[in-house]
Chain A
Amino acid sequence: MGVGIQVENLNAWYGTTQSLWDINLHIPANHATALIGPSGCGKSTFVRCLNRMHETNPIARAEGVVRMGEIDIYKDASPVEIRRRIGMVFQRPNPFPTMSIYDNVASGLKLNGFRKKRVLDEVVERSLRNAALWDEVKDDLKKKSGASLSGGQQQRLCIARALAVDPEVLLMDEPASALDPVSTAKIEDLIFKLKSQYTIVIVTHNMQQAARVAENTGFFLTGKLVEFAPTTKIFTNPSDKRTEDYITGRFG
């Protein structure tokens, strides 16, 4: 089961430029939460602060409290543990090109020292099934490289790779923006299915996508969280004028 995430007074900087201003929000467990907003509004920065990926950029810095369940992710755990427990899928599919499909999915577990072959086989199959990729790749799991798949398959492989370490939260940073409509639909179906077991945060430019998959939606603008509400409310009756302008396409 997933856990919820509580964000309090989160501020972030790149060098001296502040990119997030006082973000407060609660991401409920076992739901999909969408983050929308124009390019450069801070939504990617925000999700990267949730699993401490922003720390991999030497000039990035964040302040504030992010709690996953009972754990303060900046105080109570190492970034390595946080990233294992909060999985991430990126905008561009990034499978390991020198590894087979099987090794790609098993890579997270192998890193953590997991070696039992029978269990590994099971986890790989389960993760690939959950990522809706099993039927397409089951015959050449160990023969084909992760890079030999199509773009949409690669992205589902990356989702399977993230699922294999059984994270509590799954962050998706525009997971379908580099994909064609058919692959996008597959990814959306997947998100729908996955949220029964995982807490999902999805950054998207596609407002229909947010409306289709997410129970809650947050609207970011110039580093601030303008509005956070149930998706139906955001799209039918937003309380902020700027949200309304954005979703009706009047700017952005």
Chain B
Amino acid sequence: MNEPKLIPMPQTVVTAPKMDAVPSGDAQPAQTRLAAPSVIRQFLNQKSSGRVPDGLFGGLMLICALSIFVIVLLIVFVLVRDSRLSLHAFGFKFFTGTVWDPVSGDFGALPFIYGTVVSSLLAVAMSVPLALLVAIFVLEICPQFLRGPISFLTELLAAIPSVVYGLWGVFVLVPIIRDQVGPVLEKYLGWTGFFAEPNFGVSIFTASVILAIMIFPVISSISRDVMKVVPPSQREAALALGATRWEMIRISVLRNSRIGIVGSVILGLGRALGETMAVTMVIGNHPDMMKNLFAPGYTLASVIANEFTEATGDLYLSALIEIGLALFLVTIVVNAIARLLVWAVTRGNAARAH
């Protein structure tokens, strides 16, 4: 058998190696005793000192991370400072008052909170099943050649400006919901009280549909990415037990990625709560709290957008800024509840394999 020879690294011919370990009493120059270091070792020995040290890197990261706290605190500070007039005038009743009357200076935010929360939750309820099914389809069932186009179009939906969604809503969705969808829902689900006349097309329901389309790409693409990282061995484990394709998806794909999926839903919900333009254009802008989803409504974001420019008087302006504060609080509360839900569901089997 041929013994394979070890090929030596290229040697340098330059000066002595910089080594602290050279005995000082020795008169001979270093290079005559020590073989010249290989090019690689010499390069690495010089290089290591010039790199960004871990401490500096860590410090920079810490500053970036802390800036998030600073930004959030600043936002809260400004919101509270600029809404103090309204805070003094109405106190906690601002959040429970149902009248919004700029003329007599009476301001209550409840109808807007109602509109925001109901339209967003409804949007999530409509969007989540669709988004998850599309994500599962693209990942597990879709033929290869369709995968690219579907993913691309999904992400394209996210790139459309919301004012374009609004225009489309006004000219396409509103008539459809008024003339086609509305009568059907009234006929079959009218008994619930959620779908009743009058239906002008501009309504909380229409806003929810627009929002559902707008948050669909967020939920779908994030949950798809989360499902994609479920190891193939998990799929094989289920299949080898005699699982059908849906059972495999249920016990290995969805189950293992449920935390990430909930995360994607929370992100989508966040977008729905804050969405302004498209909602303003189709929701009807009337501060009511009706059980009927075909009735017009108003959201926190919409009222700020609509009335900020015409807010005459300090109290009016201050009330609008407090609306902003209310939106901030609603977002925090909804997120907190969502996280509590995640915690409650995953408690007891927190351990995850990776």
Q: Residues of B contacting A162 with CB < 8 Å?
A: 240-241
Given A96-B252, A98-B255, residue A80 in contact with residue B236 (CB < 8 A): no
Residue from B233, B243, B255, B348 in contact with A90 in the complex, judged by beta carbons closer than 8 Å = B233
A168 to B320, CA, bound (A): 72
Segment among A9-17, A105-113, A126-134, A230-238 that sits at the interface with chain B: A105-113
Chain B contacts for A90, CB-based, 8 A: 233, 236-237, 240
A83 to B252 alpha-carbon distance, docked (Å): 16
Chain B residues with CB under 8 A of A221: none
Given A94-B236, A96-B255, A147 and B352 contact (CB-CB distance below 8 Å): yes
Q: Decide if A80 touches B243 in the complex (CB within 8 Å).
A: yes
Given contacts A145-B349, A147-B353, contact A97 B242 (CB under 8 A): no
Q: A90-B233, A97-B351 are in contact. Are A111 and B240 (CB under 8 A)?
A: no
The smallest beta-carbon distance between A228 and chain B, in angstroms, is 25
CA distance A158 to B237 in the complex (A): 9
Which chain B residues border A112 with CB–CB below 8 Å? Answer: 242
Check B242–A83 contact: CB distance below 8 A: yes
> Closest chain A residue to B354 by CB distance?
A97
Q: Residue-by-residue, is B34-68 near A (CB-CB < 8 Å gives 1, otherwise 0)?
A: 00000000000000000000000000000000000
* Chain A residues with a Cβ closer than 8 Å to the other chain, count: 33
Answer yes or no: A187 CB below 8 A from chain B CBs: no
Q: A90-B236, A94-B233, A94-B236 are in contact. Are A111 and B349 (CB under 8 A)?
A: no
What does DSSP make chain A's interface, helix, strand, loop or mixed? mixed
Which residues does chain A contribute within 8 Å of B241, judged by CB atoms? Answer: 83-84, 87, 107-108, 111, 161-162, 165
> Do A98 and B243 have beta carbons less than 8 Å apart?
no
Judging by beta carbons under 8 Å apart, are B236 and A97 in contact?
Answer: no
**Residue from the list B144, B236, B352 in contact with A53, Cβ < 8 A:** B236
Interface flags, A80-95, vs B, CB<8A=1, else 0:
1101110110101011
Which residue of chain A is the closest to B352 with respect to CB atoms? A97
Q: In the complex, are the beta carbons of B234 and A94 less than 8 A apart?
A: yes
**Bound CA span A97–B237, Å:** 11
For the complex, what is the distance from the CA of A97 to the CA of B233, rounded to whole Å?
12
Q: Judging by beta carbons under 8 Å apart, are A56 and B256 in contact?
A: no
CA distance A145 to B346 in the complex (A): 11
B239 at the interface (CB under 8 A from A): yes
Given known A111-B251, A147-B351, contact A165–B242 (CB-CB < 8 A): yes
CB distance A98 to B352 under 8 Å? yes
Among A56, A95, A100, A161, which residue has its beta carbon within 8 angstroms of that of B236?
A56
Interface residues of B in 227-255 (CB under 8 A from A): 231, 233-244, 247, 251-252, 255
Q: Is the CB of A84 within 8 A of B242?
A: yes
Within 8 A of B (CB), among A6-59: 51, 53, 56, 58
Are the CB atoms of B353 and A97 closer together than 8 Å? yes
List chain A residues, Cβ under 8 A from B351: 97, 144-145, 147-148
Q: Which residues of A contact B349 (CB under 8 A)?
A: 98-100, 145
Closest to B243 in A: A111
A107 and B236 contact, Cβ closer than 8 Å, known pairs A84-B242, A97-B352: no
Once the chains bind, are B256 and A97 in contact (CB under 8 Å)? Answer: yes
Chain B residues positioned under 8 Å from A92 (CB to CB): 233
CA A111 to CA B242, docked complex, whole Å: 8
Evaluate contact between B234 and A96: CB separation under 8 angstroms: yes
Q: How far is the CA of A53 from the CA of B243 in the complex (A)?
A: 12
Q: A99-B349, A147-B352 are in contact. Are A80 and B244 (CB under 8 A)?
A: yes
Chain A contacts for B239, CB-based, 8 A: 53, 56, 83
A-B CB contact pairs (8 Å), 15 listed: A56-B236, A81-B242, A83-B239, A83-B241, A87-B241, A92-B233, A96-B251, A97-B256, A99-B349, A108-B242, A111-B247, A111-B251, A147-B352, A161-B241, A162-B240
B residues sitting closer than 8 Å to A (CB atoms) are 144, 231, 233-244, 247, 251-252, 255-256, 258, 346, 348-354
